[in-house]
Amino acid sequence: MRTDATADNLGARSPEDRRFRALAIGAAVGVGLALRLYLLAAPSHLGGITEYDDAVYFGTSLLMSHGLLPYRDFVMVQPPGVPTLMLPLAYLAHLSGTRAMLEVTRIVTCLVGAVNIGLVGYLLRRLSMGAIIAGTGFMAVYPASVLTSQSLLLEPYLNLFVLAALAVLLDGGLLARASWRFLAAGGLLGVAGAVKVWAIMPAAVVAVVVGLTSRRRLGLLAIGTAAGFALLAGPFLLADPHAFVREVVLDQFARGGVRAPFGLRVGFLTGFALSTVSTTAWAAALLLALAVAALAYPFVRARVRLSPAEIIVLVSLALVLASMLVTPDFFYHYAAFVAPFAALGWGHALVRLRAIAPGHHLLPRAALVPVSLGAMAVASLVHLAADRARVVDPSAAVGSVVPAGACVVTDTAEITILSDRFFASSPGCPAMVDAFGTGLDYGGSVPPADATTAPRRLEDFWISAFARADYVVLSADNAARIPWTPEVLGYLRGHFHLVSESGVSIFGRNTG
């Protein structure tokens, strides 16, 4: 007998009711996809410099298509999951150009973001219509999810595999009965871990919940997780175990720099990323407390045993949210990993209110919580979209100066990928896609705390890279990635001259 609060929502549904639920999920997917494509359609956005990380991941795929392996042959401080998934597009780039395929990866990521909304709806499909609308609506308009889905970043793919794992593992609010589903769910969680190590948080919660019910199922889950991770990460780990562990694990723990303000974190986490909120710590703390209290109230007040699905969602949400608040670094796209758990949490919270008020008199007021949050999220999204629409497209400037096949060293691979100048025809050109990560791996502080000093091996790396380059192309943010010590700066000035400066700075090698 089912004793959880969702028991009355798990019965058979009429075809008409199932149709309405499917339409509600489809509408949320449509709204979410439209928002993501709207951002991608902003002037110069599809083919402009909108991110740093997307070129790191697709650049890794491009180097892999030439037979080079991350960790062993060049620095990459994230797991290899997304670059491996993008490998087919990297091979196509040899025919269509690197710019076109980077644009395709951005469109694909938009579609992945829309699929994630559908997966949230699938997981909530047996709950009330209000739960479906609240959960999928939140996922559709949550600013971090929208912004992160319009460029090749890790979080949309991380969410994809975690949500897919939950969809396989859970049957309504309970764990599935078929053994194969635990093996498959583990495999999807393992793939998620090969995309980003943050997957360990929901994977650990799932393991505890499953382990409390059956050791055999826990074993299947563990086997699947190991197999999924090995499928994407195994070849790279075997090729150079020391470099893999150092770059993916140790370098991440060694990250320095200025700690992101608490108010900024909460502004993105809650969706209210407006300047008046994000810069005021006490207001941000109050906002976060209210959001957590509103979500927790139905579960505390209902006094009904939590279902396995609710335990997994709420504990994962707590772990992910806590990690976002304590991690030294924080970027807007980090908040996107909160979205699926918060969306599912809102859906289950509305169902819990039925246990509190069978007469539904609390439901209209409760619905104001996600509706208000969604409205403010859209307002915040408009604010953020206006800033992100002003991007630089370097392709014309670089393409007019740098000949195809030249060896180009840059602080962001996005410049050379968008300009179709990523591949060098001559051997010996430095294989580098992540200047920031290279600084981490070579023991530097990124960004440099003091531009006049840097570890000798990092300094030597950049001088060696410049020595093999025909051109050096620098973005406006190069000081955050290159240690401009007197020696490094002196080498650039002594061997190169400024050729063009239009959005990016292009230096050509002296020939005299």
What is the residue extent of each domain of the chain? 24-388, 395-509
Taking only the tens place, the pLDDT of each residue in 107-130 is 999 999 999 999 999 999 988 888
Is the pLDDT at 75 greater than 90, yes or no?
Answer: yes
Q: What is the pLDDT of residue 35?
A: 86
pLDDT band of 1, cuts 50, 70, 90? very low
Taking only the tens place, the pLDDT of each residue in 500-512 is 988 899 999 998 6
Q: What is the pLDDT of residue 420?
A: 95
Q: What is the pLDDT of residue 394?
A: 85
Say which residue, 290 or 397, is predicted with more confidence: 397
Q: Hey, what are 334's tokens?
A: 């980090």
How many other C-beta atoms can be found within 10 angstroms of the C-beta atom of residue 357?
A: 15
Averaged pLDDT, 290-295: 82
Residue 433: name the closest of 106, 52, 43 by CA. Answer: 52
Lowest pLDDT segment from 19-33, 240-254, 310-324, 389-403: 389-403
Residues 6+ apart with CB under 8 A from 467: 491, 495
What percent of the chain is predicted at pLDDT more than 70?
A: 86
CB 102 within 8 A of CB 152: yes
Q: What is the pLDDT of residue 283?
A: 73
Taking only the tens place, the pLDDT of each residue in 88-112 is 999 999 999 999 999 999 999 999 9
Is the pLDDT at 134 greater than 80, yes or no?
Answer: yes
Q: Hey, what are 96's tokens?
A: 């269509």
Is the pLDDT at 405 greater than 50, yes or no?
Answer: yes
Query: What is the rounded distance in angstroms from the CA atom of residue 468 to the CA atom of residue 23?
Result: 58
End-to-end CA distance of the chain: 86
Q: Give the H/E segment covering residue 485.
A: none
pLDDT band of 2, cuts 50, 70, 90? very low
Taking only the tens place, the pLDDT of each residue in 186-207 is 999 999 999 999 999 999 999 9
pLDDT band of 385, cuts 50, 70, 90? low
DSSP 8: G
Q: Hey, what are 389's tokens?
A: 């629409």
pLDDT band of 370, cuts 50, 70, 90? low
Q: What is the pLDDT of residue 462?
A: 95
Q: What is the pLDDT of residue 10?
A: 45
pLDDT band of 5, cuts 50, 70, 90? very low
CB 78 within 8 A of CB 196: yes
Q: What is the pLDDT of residue 280?
A: 65
Give the mean pLDDT of the chain.
86
Averaged pLDDT, 408-426: 94
**Angle, vertex CA 145, rays to CA 139 and CA 148, nearest 5:** 160
Q: What is the pLDDT of residue 8?
A: 42
Q: What is the pLDDT of residue 130?
A: 83
Q: What is the pLDDT of residue 11?
A: 46
Q: What is the pLDDT of residue 275?
A: 44
CA 202 to chain centre: 15
Q: What is the identity of the amino acid at 355?
A: A
Q: What is the pLDDT of residue 23?
A: 93
Is the pLDDT at 362 greater than 60, yes or no?
Answer: no
Q: What is the pLDDT of residue 50?
A: 84
Residues 6+ apart with CB under 8 A from 34: none
Say which residue, 280 or 341, is predicted with more confidence: 341
Q: What is the pLDDT of residue 410?
A: 96
Is the pLDDT at 391 greater than 90, yes or no?
Answer: no
Is the pLDDT at 427 greater than 60, yes or no?
Answer: yes
CB 157 within 8 A of CB 151: no
Is the pLDDT at 273 greater than 50, yes or no?
Answer: yes
Peptide bond into 448 cis (omega under 30): no
Averaged pLDDT, 3-30: 72
Averaged pLDDT, 16-35: 90
